[in-house]
Amino acid sequence: MPDGRHAGWLLWRWPVALGLVSASGLVSALVSDTWGDAWSWLALGLPVLVIAWCSLRR
């Protein structure tokens, strides 16, 4: 069992990672062209895919 210092990180690591990926996709969609469009589609679609996967897994 992890101690108190690491318990918060173990709980929040995936939501933080998804938030950072989503934020980079949003910034890329707003300021970039060509390759940034592809990254924004991927980065902003990833949380939707994760939500669908978790919902269907139940």
**Per-residue model confidence (pLDDT) at position 15:** 93
- Taking alpha carbons only, the member of 1, 2, 41, 3 closest to residue 22 is 41
Instruction: Give the pLDDT confidence of 40-56 residue by residue, as tens digits.
Output: 999 999 999 999 999 99
pLDDT band for position 2 (50/70/90)? low
Instruction: Give the pLDDT confidence of 8-42 residue by residue, as tens digits.
Output: 888 899 999 999 999 999 999 999 888 888 999 99
Q: How many CB atoms lie within 10 A of CB 31?
A: 9
Q: What span, in angstroms and rounded, lies between the C-alpha atoms of 47 and 14?
A: 11
